[in-house]
Structure formats: structure tokens, C-alpha cells
Structure 1
Amino acid sequence: MKMRAKLAVLAVVVTAFLWRDTFDPESVRGARVLVTGASMGIGEQMAYHYARLGAQLVITARRESALQKVVERCMELGAQKALYVSGDMSNPADPERVLRQAVALLGGLDYLVLNHIGNSPYGMWDGDTDYVRTLMQINFVSYTQMASAALPTLEKSNGAVVVVSSLLGKMTTPFAATYASTKFAVNGFFGTLQHELAMQGSNVSITICTLGLIDTQTAMDKIRGYTDITPYPASEAALHIIKAGATRQKESHYPWFHWFTCFFRDWFPYIRDICIQKSFNY
């Protein structure tokens, strides 16, 4: 019993150490930030948090009218600078163009926050491989394009790439084959890039944020009728991502307990799959 008690205390101490909040808001004040997919959802909430922290922002998405409204709100909230560049990440020419324009507008770059995603079907796989290619360009290839173009600038500023990924890039569930495939690709690429930058002694950090179900309107509309899994607030997820990037974490999880979800993923695969399948309606 004494040994079990000691192990329990050790587990509590280690957990408290791992999840302590070391974020300094002043570290973001004046930082030059590009946030993609910022016209709505998590990206919009990140823009507002960065604004409250006094950052210099460029946001991007497809809809110019929505970007204008977000920029106006960012200035009201205290952003030192808030600008937008519209772009369509399904167009292979746009990712690098947006990155170059953002760097020119900000005079450099400290944070590249890759958050945008394309619309993906939610339901049984229908065999549409053409749309897999389209979504791969938006959700994955454009991430690699922007990160590659940003690395020389981020190297000069000791900057960071912050990648918004998903629990669906770590483990699979029904109804999201196309989306999950793009997130597995994102995790694979940026996990590898973390190793290579470290081996090269690079100044650039890469943070991969693994998110569970977030209560954005798009996500809620898709899962309605399919599952009763509890969603978590987009505003809290957005702040978590900002803190993880600013503290240069290699990987973060929101909600926090998904660290354990990923940790135990492969321990009991049969039970895991039964639990997952029973969490969805078909």
C-alpha cells in the first residue's frame, strides 16, 4: 500500500509539472503573427486572443467580407496592427503568395499559425478519391508550402510554426475518412520536421496542437445526429493553442485529457474500437 501511495503521489507531481502554466502574456505583445483560417471558428477566436495580448496580426481566409469584420474587432480589442490577406488554399499558388504578403505587411514574422481546413464530408466513405486530392491540398499540402516559405524568416526571428491538428490525426473514428487522412499527414510531416530542425540546430520551434471535438458551428452541424460526444469551447481551445506556441511546446492536447487518450490508444485495441463504434449512430 505504501508503494502504491508513493506512486500515486509521484504521478500527481509529474502531472502537475507537465501541465503547469508557464505562459507569459508579455511574450506575445508586439509579436508578428499570421493566422490562417481566421474568418470563423477557432481561427477567429485566436485572432481575438492575439489582439487582446497586443500582437501585430495578419489573418487570412477565403471570404474577404468576414476577414474585414474580424480585423475591425481585433483593433477594438487592442491589436497593435490588424490586417488581412484573402486567399484560397485550394489554389496551389495562394499559400506562398499569402505568406509573402503577410511578411511584407508585418516586416517579418514571429508566429505562423496554420489552422485552415477545407469543407469535408461527414458520413460513410463514398469512394470519392478526387475530393481526397482536393482536401489534401487545402488541409495538408498548403501547410507544407506555407511552412517551407516561412522558415527562412522565422529562423531570423527565433520564431515558431504552430500547427492546429486533431485527435483524428492520432486515432480514427467513423465518418471522417477524408479529414482524418489529411490530419495524419499533417502530424507525420511536422513531426518529422521537428526532428530535422532540431538536428540542424534551428532557431525555429514547431508546436503540434491535438484538439478534440470543439464547439464551432461547422463541427456541430456536421456531427448532429451522429454522436453525443461532448464538445469543448472554441475560445478556450484558441487560447490553449496560443499558449502552447508561445511556450514552444512540441505537442499539446486540448482538452488536456486527450494526452491520456493518445497514450492509451494502442493498449487495448479491441475495447478501444468497440467504445468508438458505440459512440456513433448509424
Structure 2
Amino acid sequence: MGLLQKILIPVLGLVLAFCFYSSRENFRPEMLKGKRVIVTGASTGIGEQMAYHLARMGAHVLVTARTEAKLQQVNGKLGTHTCTHKHRKANLTSQVVERCRALGAGSARLVSGSMEDMATTRQLVEVAEAELGGLDMLILNHVGKSYFNYFDGDVGHVQKLLNINFLSYVAMTVSALPMLKRSGGSIVVVSSMAGKVGFPFTVPYSATKFALDGFFSSLRQEFNIQSVNVSITLCILGFIDTENAMRAAADVLLMSPAPKEECALEIIKGGTLRQREVYYRYASTKLPLLLRDWAAELLDLLVRQRYRPERLRAA
């Protein structure tokens, strides 16, 4: 009984502390009303859904997309005629800002450009300062295109992905930090379980997500030491039903994807409440990490069992 008490009491204490910490403040949509927010990678998927949630809450939204072609018909209406997948995607993307306005955004703007070009990151921040007068929340969500397969040894691809998925995040943070310091704002970094645990078939992508974890966790420590009133929220996501994820991994993964709409809302809630980390969904992300330090080989085995490698597409 003594041993059981020694185990249960600390665990119970941690659970109670977690419940107390989590209940300190409840999220309210009006917390975002009038806030100035940048959302990168908002042309589709989670980023698009975050833009819509923020618009409904009355925020001023500045969104980004990869190319001007996707943005050139912002005020156009979505046609019903038959078109190619690429053309249809461009038309759909061009509606993001217009829909944000219709949903009640304080304002909605967009900036196009490749995040591989660090000049784009500076341009985004300059637009936010010039047109929004400042910045309250920076949501870093964009990601470069990669493959879902065995690592092919292409170092050039790893370098390109590091530029887009990691270095551009650093560059945007550096550029936006003066505004965020003035507003006491928040940095929200959309990451992945692949940045906490080694996953097969995503080697370059996983490397960039581990880099994000290291950089922003270390930066948070320095902010605390220097009493910088800017929060950093790392969002650890599992398998989400975005178009890209479904196309790449749906046939290979033995799990059901979580909805991008709900995921987007949880990210916004966590960033607004200045949480250290957001895990979505909790059971499939946070709980497996409990095994990482205590039973790493078991966790590796459980990870591998989630895949059907025979269904990988031929490179």
C-alpha cells in the first residue's frame, strides 16, 4: 500500500495541477475581436479554416498564399463549370479573403509569395504594420511540399524544406517581434507529432518540425529570462483531414483523420490563452509521448504498426 501511495499521490497531484491550470481562464470568441492576426499558409486546409474562425470572431486577418495566381480573382465568384483540379483549387483559394469579409472579419487582406524567399516574410510584416497598425498574433502554418515515402537521399530537397518549414518561421518571427512586443502578443507555431517522435516516410518533413520545436522552445526560455511579454504556443498535431494529408497518407495510415475545422479552432484557442503547447487530438498525440522517455522502443513499435508500407506509392 505504501508503494501504491507513493505512486498515486504524485500522479494525482499532477492531474489536479493540470486541471487547475487549464481552468484558469476559459476561451471566449470576443477575445479575438479587433485583434490583428497574420495566418500563413491560409490558401487551404487548417490555415484556411483558421482564417474563417478568426473572421467570425471579428479579427483583422492578413493571410498568405504561395502564388499570385491563387489570389488574382479575390472578388470573383466561384464558377460551376467543369475545370481542372488545379484551376478549381485556384478559384477556391481566391475566395478565402472574400469569405473572411462575409463572415464578419474586421478586415481581410492577403499577401502572396513563396516562403522560400525571405523577402516575402519581411513584406508580410511590413504590410501588417502599414495597414493594420501593428500585430497581436502571428500564426505560422505554411509548409513546403514534400513526399510521403522512404527517404531518397535528396539533400537538396531537405535544404529547400528547411528554408520553407523552418528558416522562414525564424525570419518572420524576427521581423514581427518588435510589433508583438509592443502589443504583448502571441506567436503560434503549427507543428506535428513528427517533430516530437521519429516517423517513417516523412524524414525531411520531420527534420524541419524537430527544428521548430528546438528553436521556439529555446526562444521561449529566453523570453522568460528577459521578461518579454510575448507568448509562444507550439501546436502538436496528429493526422488531420487536409487535402494534402489525405492524398498522401490516407491509404497508408491505419487511423482516422481528425477534422481540420475543429483542429483550427483548437489552435486559435490555445494561442489566445497563451498556452505553452496544444495537442490535437490529445489522446493520439500527448498520451503516446508519455512512452517516449520510458519505453522508447515500444513507442517505435506502436508507430510502425500504424502504417501499411506495402501501400506506398512508387517513387
TM-score, scaled to structure 1: 0.94
Task: State the shift of 1:11 in Å.
Answer: 6.3
Task: State the shift of 1:12 in Å.
Answer: 5.6
Which structure's CA Rg is the greater one?
Answer: 2
- Whether the 8 Å CA contact 2:254–2:308 is kept in 1: the answer is no
1:17 matched to 2:20: yes
Match of 1:29 in 2: 33
- Whether the 8 Å CA contact 1:87–1:98 is kept in 2: the answer is no
Segments of 4+ in structure 1 off by > 3 A?
A: 1-21, 65-68
Q: Distance in 1 between matches of 2:115 and 2:293?
A: 34
Which secondary structure does the structure 2 equivalent of 1:93 belong to? helix
Q: Which deviations, in whole Å up to 9, do the C-alpha atoms of 1:223-257 show, x marking residues without a partner?
A: 03211222101011101110111111111211122
1:111 matched to 2:114: no
Q: Distance in 2 between matches of 1:218 and 1:193?
A: 30
Q: Give 1:56's match in structure 2, choosing from 60, 79, 94.
A: 60
Match of 2:296 in 1: 269
Say if 1:226 and 1:108 are closer, same or farther in 2 by CA, change over 3 A. Answer: same
Q: Distance in 1 between matches of 2:9 and 2:294?
A: 24
1:155 matched to 2:181: yes
Q: Distance in 1 between matches of 2:12 and 2:223?
A: 36
Task: State the shift of 1:205 in Å.
Answer: 1.0
Structure 2 runs not aligned, ≥5 long: 73-89, 310-315
- Whether the 8 Å CA contact 1:85–1:102 is kept in 2: the answer is no
Q: Distance in 2 between matches of 1:250 and 1:9?
A: 21
Say if 1:94 and 1:17 are closer, same or farther in 2 by CA, change over 3 A. Answer: same
Task: State the shift of 1:7 in Å.
Answer: 7.4
Q: Give 1:134's match in structure 2, choosing from 157, 160, 185.
A: 160
Task: State the shift of 1:16 in Å.
Answer: 3.6
Match of 1:213 in 2: 239
Count of matched residue positions in the alignment of Structure 1 and Structure 2 = 282
Task: State the shift of 1:87 in Å.
Answer: 1.6
Task: State the shift of 1:68 in Å.
Answer: 3.5
Q: Give 2:149's match in structure 1, choosing from 109, 123, 131.
A: 123
User: C-alpha root-mean-square deviation of aligned residues, in Å?
Assistant: 1.9
- Whether the 8 Å CA contact 2:41–2:141 is kept in 1: the answer is yes
- Whether the 8 Å CA contact 1:56–1:79 is kept in 2: the answer is yes
Match of 1:189 in 2: 215
Amino acid at match of 2:65: A
Q: Which deviations, in whole Å up to 9, do the C-alpha atoms of 1:250-274 show, x marking residues without a partner?
A: 1121112222222322211221112
Identity among equivalent pairs (%): 44
Structure 1 runs not aligned, ≥5 long: none
Amino acid at match of 2:56: R
Q: Distance in 2 between matches of 1:122 and 1:245?
A: 29
Match of 2:287 in 1: 260
TM-score, scaled to structure 2: 0.84
